[in-house]
Structure 1
Amino acid sequence: MAIDPLQDPPVLVVAPISVCESNKVLVPEKGDVPSQTSVVGNNGGRRSKRLRTRSTKLDGRFQFDKKTKLLVGHPSPIANTSGCLDPEERFNRSLKKLKAISSISLGPDVSISSKDVLELIERKKPLANKVMDALLKFSRHILRTHEVDCGKLHVDVLDTKFISQLCRLYPKFTKAPVPQDFQFPTALVDVVAGVGELDRAELFTEVDYLYLPFNFDKKHWVSLCVDLNCAKITVLDSNVHLRTDASIKADIEPLSKMLPILFRQAASNPIMSQLLPTPFSVERSLCIP
C-alpha cells in the first residue's frame, strides 16, 4: 500500500456529537461548537459525557489490508474463535522458526541472516546498510508488482549505496566552476538509468516518485520521496523531534543540488534531458504516523 506524503494534512474540526443508537450515525449539534480554550487547556479533565470517537477519515489512509494484518499476527475475522491463535503466541512460534534457520532469501541476489532479522525485530540498534538494502529490494518488488486501479504504481526505489556514493561526490561538485558541467561517474549514471536491472522503470515517464533511504548520523533512517514532476524532495520522518528543519535541509542540500544535474546526464527521454539544473526544493512531511 502506498502512502501519498504530499497530501495536505486534514483539518479536524472538534464539535460535540450525538449518537443515534438506531443506525450509529454521528450528527453534529447545531450552534454548539466549543471555543478553542474549551477544548485545549482544560486542566480539569474532559467535561462531556459523550463517548469518544475516532475519525476514520484521519486514520483510513494508514490502514492495511486483511492479508497484511494476517501476516503480522492479527487473527482472521472469519476463522473459528476456538482455533484462532493469540497474536503473541503466533509471534513466539514464528520466532522459534526463525531461530531454526540460517538465512532468508528475498530474491535471486538478496538474502539476510536470521540474526539480522532478530536485530530488526528487537530494534536495539540502527539497521545495517545491508539489511536496509534487502528490505528496499523487497519493497521495490512489492511496489513494482502492486496495482492500483488496474495500473502499475509509478514509483521506484534506490538503495543506500547510491546515496552514499552520491554524497561523497559533493565536495568535488562544489568546486566545479559550472555545476551543470560536472561529470558524474558512469556507475552512478547507470544506476539512475537502470542499466542491467530488469526490475527498474524509466524515470519521468514510468516513474513519478523516486524513494531514497537516508541515514542521519548513522543513527536514524528516513525516506526521501523525490517528486520528479514537481522537483521536490519530501523527507518522510516518523520522529520529527530528533532534528530541526534547518538541519534536515542542510543535510539534504547536496542531494537537492546534484540530483537534477545527474538526471540530465542519465537522460533516457526528452523530459530528463530538458530538466532545469536548479536545485530541488526540500520539505518535511509532518503527518507521518
Structure 2
Amino acid sequence: MCPSASNVNPNQNSDNVIKLWVDLEKKMNTRFDELMKRQDEMDSKLDLVLSMMVRSSGCKSNQPEFELEAKHNGIKVDGGECGDAYSYVTPPTFNGDDVVCNNENEVEHIDEALWGMRKRSQKYHDLFDQNVAILDEFFSQWLCGHWEKFNLGKNYKDFVFDDVFIKYVNGEKPLRGKAWENVHTLYTPLNIEGKHWVSLAVKLEKWEIVVFDSNINLTPEQKLVKHLEPFRCMLPYLLRQSGKFMGRLHKIPEPFTCRRLCDIPQDQSSGDCGIFAIKHIEFDMCGLNMNYVHDDNIVFFRKKMSCEIYNRDWDP
C-alpha cells in the first residue's frame, strides 16, 4: 500500500511555519514582479536565463534555438534531458563561497539550488528544520559509481570508502554541510538513467529511505528498488566506518528499508522533475504539505529559483 504524503512530517500544520513560508513566497513573488517591470534595464544574460528556465518544459525541438542564443550571450547550456524536454540552464559562474561547481567549473541548477537551500536554512532557523543535512547530486553519483566495486564478492565489511565519503559524513562536504551525527534526515537528489529526477529522504532514526517522485509511472517499483540498492546497502557500512554512529551499530548490516510516496501531485507536463525534486526536499524539511508542489505552481517556483541563482540572493 502506498503511504500518504500527509504522514511524512507531523509538524506540517504548524501555524508559525506556514506563516513564515507564505511570507517568504509573497516577498519573492513581489521581487520577481519588480524585476520584470524593469525588463529594459535587465542584463541580457538574466533575461535569457529567465526565458529558458520558464520555457524549459517546452518541446525538445526548441533546443538548437536555445543553444545558439545561449552561446551568443555567453551562457553555458547543459544538454541533459528529462523525458522529452530540455532540463538544464547554467547561469554565469561566481567565485568564492557562492560557487557550486562540477569538475568542469560549471554550475548545475540542482546543486546550486540545494546550496542556496543550505545557506538559507542555516540563516532562518525558525523556518527550516536544523536537524537535517542537505547533500548534493555529486554524492548520489559518487555512491552509485562505487556500487559495482562495493558489491563485488559480497564482502561488504572489508570495503574501504574513499575519504570523500567520510568528508560528507563529517559535514565537510558539500559547502555548508552538516555532520550526520547531529541530524535525523539526509536529503539528496537522484537522477534515474539520465532521464528523471527524484529526491530521497534518508531517515536515520527510522532506518528508512522515503522517495519523492513526481512521475511514478516512469519508473516501475522493481526498477526503482534496484536504483536504491547503493543507498540501502552502502550507507550502513559508511556510517560504521565513519566511527560516529556506534549507537546504531546494531542496525548494521541491515539495509535501509525504502518506500515511495504515491499520493503526491504528479508532473503532468514532463520536464519539470528537477524543480519537483528540489521543492519536495524544501517542503519536507519545512514540514509543509506536499500537495502544494504541483503543476500550477511550478512556473512560479522556476522563476523564483532562476532569480535566486542569478542574483545570488537567498534571503526572503
Between Structure 1 and Structure 2, the one with more helix by share is 2
Say what the alpha-carbon RMSD is for the aligned residues: 3.5
Aligned residue for 1:147, secondary structure, equals: coil
Specify the alignment match of 1:35 in structure 2.
none
Task: Look up the match of 1:233.
Answer: 209
Shift of 1:235: 0.6
Q: Shift of the alpha carbon at 1:215?
A: 0.9
User: In structure 1, what is the Cα distance between the partners aligned to 2:6 and 2:245?
Assistant: 25
Structure 2 matches for 1:116-265, cutoff 5 A?
A: 118-124=51-57, 125-127=86-88, 130-148=108-126, 153-195=130-172, 199-204=176-181, 206-265=182-241
Could you say which structure has the greater relative contact order, defined with CA pairs below 8 angstroms and 6 or more residues apart?
A: 2
Alignment identity in percent? 24
Task: Kindly state the Cα deviation for residue 177 of structure 1 after the two structures are TM-superposed.
Answer: 4.0
Equivalent AA in structure 2 for residue 120 of structure 1: M
Find the counterpart in structure 1 of residue 7 from structure 2.
Answer: 7
Q: Work out whether residues 225 and 235 of structure 1, in 8 Å CA contact, stay in contact via their aligned partners in 2.
A: yes
For 1:223, what is the secondary structure of its paired residue? Answer: strand
Q: Using a 3 Å threshold, how does the CA distance of structure 1 residues 92 and 162 change in structure 2: closer, same or farther?
A: same
In the aligned structure 1, how far is the partner of 2:171 from the partner of 2:192? 26
Q: Deviation digits for residues 104-137 of structure 1, max 9, x if unmatched?
A: xxxxxxxxxx755543332231236722111110
Matches within 5 A, 1:14-163: 64-73=21-30, 90=34, 92-93=36-37, 100=43, 102=45, 118-124=51-57, 125-127=86-88, 130-148=108-126, 153-163=130-140
Q: In the aligned structure 2, how far is the partner of 1:94 from the partner of 1:167?
A: 45
Q: Give the paired residue count.
A: 212
Q: AA paired with 2:88?
A: L
Which residue of 2 is the match for residue 279 of structure 1? 255
Map of 2:304 onto structure 1: none
Change over 3 Å in CA distance of 1:269–1:284 after alignment to 2: closer
C-alpha change, 1:197 and 1:226, in structure 2 (3 Å) is closer
**2:216 aligned counterpart, secondary structure:** coil
Answer yes or no: is the 8 Å Cα contact 2:115–2:175 preserved in 1.
no
Shift of 1:169: 0.7
| One-letter amino acid of the structure 1 residue matched with residue 119 of structure 2 | H
Q: What secondary structure does 2:197 align onto?
A: strand
Q: Contact 1:5–1:236 at 8 Å: present in 2 too?
A: no
1:172 is paired with a residue of what secondary structure? helix
Deviation at 1:271, TM superposition (A): 3.1
CA distance in 1, matches of 2:208, 2:160: 23
Distance verdict in 2 for CA 1:220–1:179, change over 3 Å: same
Aligned-partner SS, 1:136: helix
Give unmatched runs, 5+ long, in structure 2.
58-85, 90-106, 265-290, 292-316
Q: Is the 8 A contact 2:198 2:213 kept in 1?
A: yes
Q: Judge which range, 248-257 or 225-234, deviates more.
A: 248-257
What letter is aligned with 2:109?
V
Unpaired runs of 5+ in structure 1? 11-56, 75-86, 104-113
Contact 2:190–2:199 (8 Å) recurs in 1? yes
Q: What do the CA deviations read for 1:143-187 (whole angstroms, capped 9, x no partner)?
A: 2333249x9521111111111111111111111442122111112
* Worse overlay, 247-256 or 188-197: 188-197
Q: TM-score, normalised by structure 2?
A: 0.57
AA aligned opposite 2:26: K
Aligned pair in 2 of structure 1 residues 163, 90: CA closer, same or farther (>3 Å)?
same
Q: Which has the larger radius of gyration?
A: 1
Distance 2:178 2:53 in 1: 29
Change (3 A) 1:127 1:264: farther
